[in-house]
Structure 1
Amino acid sequence: MFDINNILRNNIKNLVPYSSARDEFQGEASVFLDANENAFGSPLQTAYNRYPDPMQYQVKMKLSQIKGVPARNIFLGNGSDEAIDVLFRSFCNPGVDNVIIVPPTYGMYQVSANINDVEAKKVLLTEDYQLNLEGIAEAIDKNTKVIFICSPNNPTGNSINRDDIETLLANFTGLVIIDEAYINFSRQKTFIQELTEYANLVVLQTLSKAWGLAGLRIGMAFASEEIIEVMNKVKPPYNINEASQTLALEALANVKQVNDWIKETLEQRDKLVLALKEMPFVVDIYPSDANFVLVKTTNATAIYDFLVNQGIIVRNRTNVELCEGCLRITVGTSAENIKLIETLQQYK
């Protein structure tokens, strides 16, 4: 049975969070002389002299409507990377606790573990890029606080078997964090709808991919109210700036545009896969539920270097475990994909 108090760091249990001026006063006023801001404005067309809403209430309310989740179950971070770091700092004691990652996967889990002095136990995915449940069970010990699962997975592109994830959620007494950065492109349903079923579930999403807002750096975590309360205590007081909040609200009003882009991306992905299959140096193209494809080639480094010389940048993943010889190729526009294919046809 999951109990947050069993995995929460003692210093975080007793943490009194920083109380900002905007935390202490909530309401309407005409004169603000409480936060030592510049009362005269900003040297910009838009004034950014006032601190932003520390809890991003308006953005969360809009996301609540779109995602079907109460605002109290939403955490916003400076990218998903901040949410990952906050979870480490909230639940993992440096030099004592450990987490489990399942390579090949998103590299930031390992980096954040290293920064926070937390051991990251690696349990490789199977050859078809699914969870090794037996290996994960063997790796878990009394100091294992978190299991990270990326689904659809980066860099492989596939979704992780839902039943396997639910097995972990039902049997692990720590947090199971499902990173759904690419869920908008997937045939698999989001795990957000399972929040009421599993108290130890944290779902990460982002506005960087399908929503096209990578430059704004807005990541989302969805979890129980008690987990979100902990994350809000640990985060910096004004972690999402005013410009990002304003632009995010504007973007979130354009769901149809995003859905149209998703449909176009999936159509372009299918065309790209068909064209790549005709290349003599392509050994395999793995099934993808994301806006990229993982392509096994005869010589990934040589092909990568050739493309770089032609001004086309893909990702060389040949040095990643279980991705030897592989390139990760993002699905571009029709024109970009055609240029890629025409260039690859010149590769000898």
Structure 2
Amino acid sequence: MDINDLVRENIKNLRPYSTARDEFKGQASVFLDANENSYGSPLPANYNRYPDPLQLDLKDAISKIKGVPIENTFLGNGSDEAIDLLFRAFCNPGKDNVIVLPPTYGMYEVSANINDVEIRKVSLLPNFQLDMEKIAETIDKNTKLIFICSPNNPTGNSINREDIETILANFNGIVVVDEAYINYARQKTFIQELTEYGNLVILQTFSKAWGLAALRLGMAFSSTKVIDVLNKIKPPYNINQATQDLAFEALKNIAQVNDWIKESVAERDRLSKALTALNIVKKVYPSDANFILTEVTDALTIYDTLVDQGIIVRDRSKVTLCEGCLRITVGTKEENDKLLTVLENF
């Protein structure tokens, strides 16, 4: 399969925006080309110059941790930007379609609707795994993207690896594996499969385990052909300099992040056991993420009670296959104890 055959014709012919810094080679000390404020910034750090549009230093630091070459890495304003760009690169509005697997992350459908791309929904099986037969029946010649969230949001489980590999090997389109919660999972990342499948796109994020949700920084890993297309159509300076600087510093503290991951997993297991013992809890689903899907006796009333106590969880009771369920993020020990106290007294 040639990735270029999947790219929209107008994107193939697109002449990308050329920044002022793209138009010269060599070193410079006086920059009078981009109409910046030459005097500096009214801040301790100077942010008067436009940032590196390809974030090469930050990608180099990420590559040392992830083991993915710079040329196979895309950075976006959150993973949501990469999701939107995949629609714009590969899906012709009003013609092509994509497959999503509910219950799953809602931005896939939102981005499809924004880009006027048909959404085809194939619900997960009751065990929250892929309905492979139904997926195969739903694919047609205009199916360009399949989104697989693993570990899945909001169910928390990892998707069977063999099923994902079967789709990758047989689908003539882009398979997007969203690994936002992979740091908390027992299952390993699909990064090792990048060299085997040219149609694989892996999404990861700094918003979860790395604790940088406010910076809005997402990662996409794929073949160079896919990454080149994303770089071609992204805004020229999509990652601001402050985000690049702070993320670069955060990457130096991987030991702290790993400690938080271990603590979160331990708290996830403790919280799951404690929830299972409550009379108002009907089922606690196994989780590979930093949240727990919990079926309760009266989701709306319990949700409102928690809100009254200043505790916010996510009501997923109206979502396919999640009827009567609350999605509870694993907090600190103190936060989890407060949650349990309220639930015990409900």
TM-score, length basis structure 1: 0.98
Contact 1:22-1:54 at 8 Å conserved across structures: no
Distance (whole Å) between structure 2 residues aligned to residue 280 and residue 210 of structure 1: 31
Q: Which letter maps to 1:118?
A: V
Matched, 1:337 2:339: no
Q: Structure 1 residues 108 and 26 mapped into 2: Cα distance closer, same or farther (>3 Å)?
A: farther
Q: How far did residue 343 of structure 1 move?
A: 1.1
Which residue is 1:118 aligned to?
Answer: 117
Contact 2:4 / 2:225 at 8 angstroms: preserved in 1? no
1:52 aligned onto 2:51: yes
Structure 1: how far apart are the matches of 2:55 and 2:22?
12
Q: Percent identity?
A: 69
Aligned to 2:310: 311
Residue pair 2:151, 2:182 contacting (<8 A) in 1 also: yes
Partner of 1:24: 23
Q: How far 1:138 sits from its partner (Å)?
A: 0.5
**Structure 1 residue 21: deviation in Å?**
1.4
Residues in 1 aligned to 2:252 and 2:70: alpha-carbon distance in whole angstroms: 17
Partner SS state of residue 76, structure 1: strand
Question: 2:98·2:119 contact (CA, 8 Å) conserved in 1?
Answer: yes
Distance 1:250 1:34 in 2: 29
Deviation at 1:98, TM superposition (A): 0.2
Which residue pairs with 2:251 in the alignment?
A: 252
C-alpha distance in structure 1 between counterparts of 2:263 and 2:269, whole Å:
10
Q: Given residue 177 of structure 1, which amino acid in structure 2 is its aligned partner?
A: V
- 1:1-348 correspondence to structure 2 within 5 Å: 2-25=1-24, 27-347=26-346
Residues 2-22 of structure 1 deviation map (CA, whole Å, 9 limit, x = unaligned): 211221100001111000112
Distance in structure 2 (CA, Å) of the matches to 1:91 and 1:312: 41
Decide whether aligned partners of structure 1 residues 270 and 17 sit closer, same or farther in structure 2, where only a CA change above 3 A counts: same
Q: Give the counterpart letter for 1:304 in structure 2.
A: Y
220-229 vs 27-36, which deviates more?
A: 27-36
Judge conservation of contact 1:22–1:53 (CA < 8 Å) in 2: no
Amino acid at match of 1:181: A
Distance 1:26 1:329 in 2: 52
Partners in 1 of 2:24 and 2:168 — Cα distance? 39
Residues 146 and 176, structure 1, Cα contact 8 Å, conserved in 2: yes
Secondary structure of 1:253's aligned partner: helix
| Count of paired positions | 346
Q: Is the 8 A contact 1:131 1:160 kept in 2?
A: yes
CA-CA distance at 1:23 after TM superposition: 2.4
Cα distance in 2, alignment partners of residues 342 and 226 from structure 1: 52
Amino acid at match of 2:225: E
Over residues 34-87 of structure 1, what are the superposed CA-to-partner deviations in whole Å (9 max), with x where a residue is unaligned?
110000111112111000000000110001100001010000000000000000
- Is this contact kept in 2: 1:182–1:291, CA < 8 A? yes
Q: How big is the shift at 1:278?
A: 1.3
Moved more, 273-282 or 205-214: 273-282
Which secondary structure does the structure 2 equivalent of 1:295 belong to?
strand
Distance in 1 separating the partners of 2:316 and 2:26: 51
Superposition deviation, residue 220 in structure 1: 0.3
- Which one is further off, 302-311 or 28-37? 28-37
- Name the SS for the 2:4 alignment partner: helix
Q: Return the alpha-carbon distance in structure 1 between the equivalents of residues 53 and 214 of structure 2.
A: 20
Q: Hey, what's the Cα distance between the residues in 1 that align with 2:44 and 2:207? A: 26
Structure-1 separation of matches of 2:27 and 2:161: 46
The answer as to whether partners of 1:149 and 1:179 remain within 8 angstroms in 2 is yes
Q: Is the 8 A contact 1:23 1:54 kept in 2?
A: no
After superposition, the CA RMSD in angstroms is 0.7
In the superposition, relative to structure 1, how do residues 27 and 251 fare at CA in structure 2: closer, same or farther (>3 Å)?
farther
Cα offsets for 1:245-280 (capped at 9, x unmatched): 000000011110100000000011111011111110
Contact 1:9 1:90 in 2 (8 A): yes
Q: What letter matches 2:37 in structure 1?
A: N
The separation in 2 between residues aligned to 1:33 and 1:27, in whole angstroms, is 15
Q: Secondary structure of the equivalent of 1:254?
A: helix
Give the unaligned 5+ runs of structure 2. none
Q: Deviations over 1:112-157 (max 9, x none)?
A: 0000000010000000000001010010011000000000000000
The letter for the 1-side match of 2:239 is I
